[in-house]
Amino acid sequence: MKQKRRTMLYIPGNNPAMLIHGGTYGADSLLLDLEDSVALEQKDSARILVKNVLKNINFYDAEVCVRINHLDTPFGMEDLKEIIPLKPDAIRYPKTETIEDLKRLVTVMEEIEDQHEISHDEIKIHIMIETALGVQNVFEIAKLCHRLDAITIGGQDLTADMNIKSTKDGSGIDLARKMIVMAAKANKIDAIDTVFVDIDDEEGLRKETEKSKNLGFTGKAVINPRQIDIVHEVYTPTEQEIRKAYKIYKEFKKKRTEGIGVFAVDGKMVDAPVVARAKYTLELAHINLQEI
Amino acid sequence: MEIIKKAQAGSFESSDILILAEKPKDTKGRVIQLNSIVEKQYGEMILKTVSKVLDEFEVADIHLVIHDKGALTTVIQARMETVLLRASNNQKGTMY
Amino acid sequence: MKNSLNRNIPEFINGIGKIAPFTGAWNKLKKGWMDEITISPPNKAKLPHQKKLTETLKEAIIKTSPKNGMTVSFHHHLRNGDFILVEAIKTLAGLGIKNITLASSSLNNSHSELIKYIKDGTITKIWTSGIRGELGKAISKGIMENPVVIHSHGGRVRAIHTGKISIDLCIIAASAADEEGNATGAVGKSAFGSLGYARIDSRYSKQVIVVTDNLVEFPCFPLSIQQNFVDYVVKVDSIGDPTKIASGTTRITKSPMDLRIAKLAADVIEKSGYFKNGFSFQVGAGGASLAVAKFIREKMLRKEIKGSFLLGGVTSYGVDMLNEGLFKTIFDVQSFDAQVSSSLYNNKNHIEISASLYANPYNCGCMTNKLDIVVLGALEVDIDFNVNVLTGSQGYLRGASGGHCDTASGAELTVVVCPSFRGRISTINKRVDTIVTPGESVDVIVTERGICVNPINVELEQELIKTGLNVRKIEDLQKEVEEIVGTPKPIEKTDKIVALIEYRDGTAIDVVRQLKAIE
């Protein structure tokens, strides 16, 4: 089944207490961070800690991703050298701006993978678009390689790059969000929305998550485990929605064998887009389409 | 591996371990001072873990002062590796 | 001898007497009556219009003719802000009284000064439900000749009824009292709410002194303590520190771990079959145990379920739920913050109850007999579902039996919430250091790494597995945690017993032994 990424929990890579419990909060995906949440003098410390943690800590069902430092920094290369052999589910690459950025990352990854006899399609890549240039190039970058599985928008860095204030309604980065979603959708990969920093504002988080879901984001980054349930609720279809989608998909399968492409369910026309949406609802509800 | 300068790794945070390493003054061999909040239960195990890492890196002479706040073995190993690389000037991918 | 939980219990303890071993939660109680003889309350007569007020606490104490070997009792409603207990002991010591049996319903961090009075022979025996802080550490190290007896809240009542705790003098701190001794904790600058633990003392103690920092015009109401049981009344400047007694409101924890465990526990409760209209509920005063109330409240609102009563141990969160109409009544034996005291005073559906009505099994049915769901904490649990809420990972006394075994035995669904390990200390062990609540009373243990159902609940386990909850065998969870934290060396103890743990029916469920001194 397709990897669920409704929530991606950020965990600072130099923090043992948070790392060892990371897999117990129910997040779909975890981001062990070697980049912005780690002080410059502790990059080596975080790298070694995350390396050990990947080896020895059980993260249960969560997808485990590692955000490395950009290859332009003194840290990125060493991050990849130490982390790739441990085969995390994905590498997240920050501040991806051009197709050269991504190509360079892939080349380095493949070199290291060859050294350790790891196939080139085991470890996925997630990119972060955090600059205006990155936004401009996202369509080109997104179609570049098949191991690219998700695009995330880095709201904090983006507003800094654009020299604008970060507002609660996110109006400044609205276009960026939409372009990233479009690029992700065009390539049938995930789009993950940026963090909501006000941990105590549960209503605000819910509203923003609903907005981003409506835009097309498939999940949201969270910085505190308390945010996980709210995001999951927004992304979980209701009983009613599931029942409807189930009905439509079941009928679709039946009609397909009969060679019929358009039909009616409960008096409403069902064509390809309706079926696609029903499929998506069922996938969100984690229902196995084969079993219908 | 030779310890040539003072270094530290880890922190005082809960579930972490703070390790200070330097060349032993006037003595040879491994001098280890351990202070742990779970001394009774895990003191021995912590020292074993530390010794193992010292063996792995072939460190013969070192003075370690350790403040443990209930770190798991894998965290101790990580912090030990970090402090040894720093103290021997062998770190890679750092600011220094 | 071994009790039914395979714990080594001595047959006789000097200073306590013959010991009856624990044989099961209901073995003694199912008889329907108590074999032990009950003692009579004091027999007195007082002429009208006599003055009870004394100038000082010392004066009042002297009037009660204190003597060596006496038993003096207190309640613990002042929590960590208590000024009275230590003051009273100091006074008695100053009068040269020795060999006192201290019977405080619980002891905490505000009682560390008692160490001095134990060492000098002023206090030689203690009956209490819990011990914490420096006092707990000292007793664990063996400063007392006679073991402390730890009882539950319900068990204390029985012990007083049978004269096991034979109170010569009880000192009741009250936040409001009148000159006749009618007293309450519901109002006043030092208000603490329910006086539930003191009621039994007032009736059975040979002499009763009410101490207040708020002398009100007669009559003082509500009549939590009644004048017909009170000998003397004293006004002092302050009975305690209000900020440590009961301030503001109790906040739900923000700890992600506690919230996660609480959410899982609420899911278990929702799917257990007991979460339906008219259910009765009790949660703890903080941490994950209280946070469960937040998630249950949300589920009650969503599913339009109304409960019957809340029991406890009450915090402002409970009061909010009462005010929202989610529950009909609160039965309050201990109030944890200022908002609760206020509700107790103003809301007729917020009812003060005594420890006997709360949890004494030796009557026609205490409140815990009517409890549907209780959520409790734990310092550690074992693979037989036994719970330790008394001794910590270093072997120190640092908790309380309290209402734990009382509520666990009565509730239809007993849920224990705890993280699977704290720091590097495993919470799920092969064998707990001290058993307070027997495994047979515990239905589910909820941790962040798995939910364990007591094997006696076959159907419940099936139900929970079906709903997709992470149900696991407790033996597997214990092994996993041991692998994560490593196998610890056990804390070394000597043979000397420092505490006897009484189950609510008076039998001995476990003992605590002295910590071995480190050379």
Q: Give the C-alpha separation, A279 to A257, whole Å.
A: 17
Contact in structure between B3 and B21 (CB atoms under 8 Å) = yes
Is C256 an interface residue toward A (CB < 8 Å)?
Answer: yes
User: C492 to chain B: which residues are within 8 Å by CB?
Assistant: 40
- Angle among Cα B84, B87, B91 to the nearest 5 degrees reads 75
* Chains in contact with chain A (at least 3 beta-carbon pairs closer than 8 A): B, C
- B86 pLDDT higher than 80: yes
- A1 pLDDT higher than 60: no
Single out the residue of B89, B90, B72, B88 nearest to residue B10, CA to CA: B72
Q: Tell me which residue in C394, C424, C492 faces B42 most closely, judged by beta carbons.
A: C424
SS3 for C103-149 is EECCCCHHHCCHHHHHHCCCEEEEEECEECHHHHHHHHHCCCCCCEE
Of the two residues C298 and A292, the one the predictor is more confident about is: C298
- C320 pLDDT higher than 90: yes
- C94 pLDDT higher than 80: yes
Buried b (16+ CB within 10 A) or exposed e, C254-293: ebbbbbbbbbbbbbbbbbbebbeeebbbbbbbbbbbbbbb
Is C449 an interface residue toward A (CB < 8 Å)?
Answer: yes
- Report cis status (omega within 30 of 0) of the bond before A16: no
- Residues C449-462: what's their mean pLDDT? 96
Contact in structure between C389 and C377 (CB atoms under 8 Å) = yes
- Residues C62-68: what's their mean pLDDT? 96
DSSP type of residue C369: G
Taking an 8 Å cut-off on Cβ atoms, the answer to whether C424 and B41 are in contact is yes
Identify the helix (H) or strand (E) that includes residue C517.
Answer: none
- A4 pLDDT higher than 70: yes
Phi-psi region of C161 (alpha: psi -120 to 50; beta: other; left: phi over 0): alpha
Work out the percent of chain C whose per-residue pLDDT is above 70.
100
User: A43 to chain B: which residues are within 8 Å by CB?
Assistant: 93-95
CA distances from C103 to A196, C150, C211 (A): 53, 10, 17
For position B95, what pLDDT does the model report?
79
pLDDT in tens, C250-305: 889 999 999 999 999 999 999 999 999 999 999 998 899 999 999 999 999 999 99
pLDDT in tens, A123-146: 999 999 999 999 999 999 999 999
Average model confidence (pLDDT) across chain A: 93
Contact in structure between C60 and C54 (CB atoms under 8 Å) = yes
For position C15, what pLDDT does the model report?
85
Banded pLDDT at C518 (limits 50, 70, 90): confident
For position A287, what pLDDT does the model report?
78
User: B9 to chain A: which residues are within 8 Å by CB?
Assistant: 45
Work out the percent of chain B whose per-residue pLDDT is above 70.
99
Average model confidence (pLDDT) across chain B: 94
For position C126, what pLDDT does the model report?
98
Q: Give the C-alpha separation, C474 to C451, whole Å.
A: 8
pTM: 0.94
For position B91, what pLDDT does the model report?
85
Taking an 8 Å cut-off on Cβ atoms, the answer to whether B37 and C486 are in contact is no
Provide the sign of the torsion angle of the four alpha carbons A33, A36, A37, A42, taken in this order.
positive
DSSP type of residue A191: E
CA distances from C230 to C75, C177, C218 (A): 15, 11, 14
Q: Tell me which residue in A21, A58, A229 faces C263 most closely, judged by beta carbons.
A: A229
Buried b (16+ CB within 10 A) or exposed e, A113-136: beeeebeeeebbbbbbbbbeebbe
pLDDT in tens, B24-69: 888 889 999 999 999 999 999 999 999 999 999 999 999 999 999 9
Please give the interface size between B and C, counted as residue pairs whose CB atoms are below 8 Å apart. Answer: 37
pLDDT in tens, C360-372: 999 999 999 999 9
- C102 pLDDT higher than 90: yes
- Tokens 């007793």, residue located: C139
Banded pLDDT at C436 (limits 50, 70, 90): very high
Work out the percent of chain A whose per-residue pLDDT is above 70.
99
Q: Give the C-alpha separation, B69 to C311, whole Å.
A: 38
How far C256 CA lies from chain A's nearest CA (Å)?
A: 6
Q: Which amino acid is at B84?
A: L
Three-state DSSP class for C209?
strand
Identify the helix (H) or strand (E) that includes residue A147.
Answer: none
Q: Which residue from C minimizes the CA distance to A25?
A: C260
Contact in structure between A151 and A127 (CB atoms under 8 Å) = yes
- C451 pLDDT higher than 60: yes
Single out the residue of A140, A136, A148, A143 nearest to residue A105, CA to CA: A148
Q: Tell me which residue in C257, C259, C263 faces A21 most closely, judged by beta carbons.
A: C257
Identify the helix (H) or strand (E) that includes residue A92.
Answer: strand A90-93
Q: Give the C-alpha separation, C150 to C148, whole Å.
A: 6
- A292 pLDDT higher than 90: no
Q: Tell me which residue in B9, B74, B91 faces A53 most closely, judged by beta carbons.
A: B74
Q: Give the C-alpha separation, C172 to C183, whole Å.
A: 9
A267, two tokens: 């008096």
- Angle among Cα C504, C250, A204 to the nearest 5 degrees reads 135
Q: Give the C-alpha separation, C478 to C220, whole Å.
A: 54
Taking an 8 Å cut-off on Cβ atoms, the answer to whether B78 and A52 are in contact is yes
pLDDT in tens, C105-134: 999 999 999 999 999 999 999 999 999 999
Q: In what order do the strands lie in the sheet with C387-388?
A: C387-388, C380-382, C428-429
Banded pLDDT at C22 (limits 50, 70, 90): very high
Banded pLDDT at A78 (limits 50, 70, 90): very high
Taking an 8 Å cut-off on Cβ atoms, the answer to whether B15 and A16 are in contact is yes
Burial of C120 (0-12, 13-18, 19+ CB in 10 A): exposed
Banded pLDDT at A277 (limits 50, 70, 90): confident
As a whole number of Å, the end-to-end CA separation of chain C is 31
DSSP type of residue A131: S
User: If interface means Cβ-Cβ distance under 8 Å, which residues of chain B face chain A?
Assistant: 9-10, 13-16, 71-75, 77-79, 81-82, 85-86, 91-95
pLDDT in tens, A155-212: 999 999 999 998 888 889 999 999 999 999 999 999 999 999 999 999 999 999 999 9
- C519 pLDDT higher than 70: no
Banded pLDDT at C148 (limits 50, 70, 90): very high
Strands C444-447 and C450-453: antiparallel
A117, two tokens: 């006899």
